[in-house]
Each structure stands twice: as C-alpha cells, then as structure tokens.
Amino acid sequence: MSSRRVVAIVPAAGSGERLGAGRPKALVPVAGEPMVVRAVDGLLSSGAVDDVVVVAPASHVDAMASVLPARARVVPGGADRVASVALGLAAVDDADVVLVHDAARCLCPGAVAQAVVAAVRDGHGAVIPALPIADTVRRVDPGGRVVGPVDRTGLLAVQTPQGFRPDVLRRAHEAALGSSAAARATDDAGLVEAVGGEVVTVPGDPRAFKITTPLDLAMAEALLGTTAPLAGAVGDP
Ligand code: C5P
C-alpha cells in the first residue's frame, strides 16, 4: 500500500510575457516576495502538503532554488505547461495524492488545498477547485462577432491547486504526449477528461485568482497591503 503523502507540483517555468517584468513571472515579487515563494509557503503552511516540486525555467533552476525553502525541490521545465508538469511528475516517487498548483495563483488560501486533498482521499481520482462565473459570457467568431449566447448555468471558472491520484495523473499525461489534447489543455484536469476520467469540483476561492497582467499584480499587492486597514477603515469618520 502506498504511503499517505501529498506532493505538490508547482509549474513555474513560464516566461510571463503578459506581465512584462523582463524575468520569469514566478520570480516577480508580490509585495516584496517572489510569487513562487508565496505559492510554496502557502502550500506548506496549509498543513495539507508534505513536499513540493517546483518546475523552473531551465535557465533559472538555481535562482529559484536559492529563494525557496529547502523542502522544495526544483527541476527544469519544458516548452509548455503540460511538458513542465510532466517533468515535475517524473520527480514524484511516493505519494497518495499529487497536487498541481500554478505559481501564479500565489494568494490561494490553504483551505483550498485541504479541501482538494480531502476529496481525493474520499475516493475521487481528479478534483478541481472552481467558482461561479460573475460575468455574462458570449461565444464569438474570429472577427469578434457574437455567434450566440452561452447559458451561464452550469459553468464554473476553474482554479488550482488541482488534486489527483498519482496513477490517474500519470495516465492522463502519458496519453497527452504528442496528442492535440496536450496542445489545447490549459490545466491537468483537462487531460484527465480527454482520457475519459471523471473530474469533480470543490469550492474555489476568489483569492486563488491567477496573476497574469500588471493589473492582477496590482490587485494582489492591494489585497496583501490593505486587508487590515480596510477592515478598520469601514465606518471611520
Ligand atoms: O502562462 P500561464 O500563466 O497561463 O501559465 C500557467 C502556469 O504554468 C504558470 O505558473 C507558469 O509558470 C507555468 N508554465 C510552466 N511551463 C511553461 C509555461 C507555463 O511551468 N513552459
């Protein structure tokens, strides 16, 4: 029987061009601390995660290792997110639950990781945190013309950490190797779905939003910097 051990893979090998910081996005500081450090600390302090494998740009393995806690192993990543997660997965040897968590969702509360791990241990092979969509959604053609309404009922926005039984995640990644599903997939649950696997949801958290643009970064810093003052300021004269 395999041990009760949770290993989190943190894909952090993206270039972060949309953020325009001139360095890998995961190393961009959010209120003074690199995103990847915040993401790893969040996982470890949740109490739900035993070990972390960080997947870094090949050129920045040492740079990431030097800022991360010793419990985080750092391995070089690949050309896209799917390849990077596969390389992280290859470094996981002993686990009953594997989480995959984007470094860019670095303010995710620990309760989300706890809920995802609990659901995998309840017997689900693939678990994703998700939230209802607030905006109205439309499908458009390549010219930007609306081609039809989309019923928001039953649509959720998907976050990370996503949790998997290791055999389920490995099978999905093996099948994705060289397939078009890998090119399209923006998350790991998508690869599980592509091989017919069942994916269940647990409630996500708005603070698990992904930092992609300079505005996202400003919002993350505002959230970190103003939580306490805002609470005290309500109703102040
Ligand atoms: O670019 P985007 O924000 O969608 O990337 C999602 C996550 O995947 C980020 O944490 C990014 O660092 C990671 N990624 C990766 N390897 C790549 C591309 C993206 O680990 N080659």
pLDDT of residue 164: 98
pLDDT band at 165 (very low <50, low <70, confident <90, very high): very high
Is 9 close to ligand 1, i.e. is its CB under 6 Å away?
no
> pLDDT tens-digit profile of 115-131?
999 999 999 999 999 99
pLDDT band at 182 (very low <50, low <70, confident <90, very high): low
CA atoms within 13 A on the CB side of 94: 6
Q: What percent of the chain is predicted at pLDDT more than 90?
A: 79
CA of 225 to the centre of ligand 1 (A): 26
Give the ligand 1 atom nearest the CA of 12.
Answer: 12
Quick one: the chain helix, strand, coil %, rounded to 5?
Answer: 40, 20, 40
Residue 230 lies in a domain: no
Mean model confidence pLDDT for the chain: 91
Q: Is the pLDDT of residue 235 over 50?
A: no
Residue 198 lies in a domain: yes
CA of 47 to the centre of ligand 1 (A): 25
pTM of this prediction exceeds 0.85: yes
Domain range for 107 is 6-224
Give the ligand 1 atom nearest the CA of 55.
Answer: 20
Give the ligand 1 atom nearest the CA of 105.
Answer: 10
Give the ligand 1 atom nearest the CA of 77.
Answer: 16
Residue 167 lies in a domain: yes
Take atom 5 of ligand 1 and give the residue whose Cα is closest. 14
pLDDT of residue 232: 37
Tokens of 132: 């209802």
Is 11 close to ligand 1, i.e. is its CB under 6 Å away?
yes
Residue 237 lies in a domain: no
CA of 235 to the centre of ligand 1 (A): 41
The CATH number given to whatever domain includes residue 180 is 3.90.550.10
Is 188 close to ligand 1, i.e. is its CB under 6 Å away?
no
Q: Is the pLDDT of residue 186 over 90?
A: no
pLDDT of residue 226: 47
Give the ligand 1 atom nearest the CA of 18.
Answer: 1
pLDDT band at 183 (very low <50, low <70, confident <90, very high): low
Residue 148 lies in a domain: yes
Take atom 7 of ligand 1 and give the residue whose Cα is closest. 102
| Contact by Cβ (8 Å): 159, 112 | yes
Give the ligand 1 atom nearest the CA of 79.
Answer: 21
Probe ligand 1: pick from 53, 74, 81, 213, max atoms within 8 Å of CB? 81
As for how many domains the chain has, the answer is 1
Rounded Cα gap, residues 36 and 54, in angstroms: 8
| Contact by Cβ (8 Å): 172, 197 | yes
The residue among 132, 127, 133 whose CA lies nearest residue 201 is 127
> pLDDT tens-digit profile of 7-41?
999 999 988 777 777 789 999 999 999 999 999 99
Residue 232 lies in a domain: no
pLDDT of residue 59: 93
Q: Can you give the C-alpha Rg of the chain in angstroms?
A: 18
pLDDT of residue 225: 86
DSSP letter at 102 equals: -
Rounded Cα gap, residues 214 and 116, in angstroms: 29
CA of 69 to the centre of ligand 1 (A): 21
> pLDDT tens-digit profile of 39-96?
999 999 999 999 999 999 999 999 999 999 999 999 999 999 999 999 999 999 999 9
Higher confidence at residue 148 or residue 63?
A: 63
pLDDT band at 166 (very low <50, low <70, confident <90, very high): very high
Residue 229 lies in a domain: no
Residue 234 lies in a domain: no
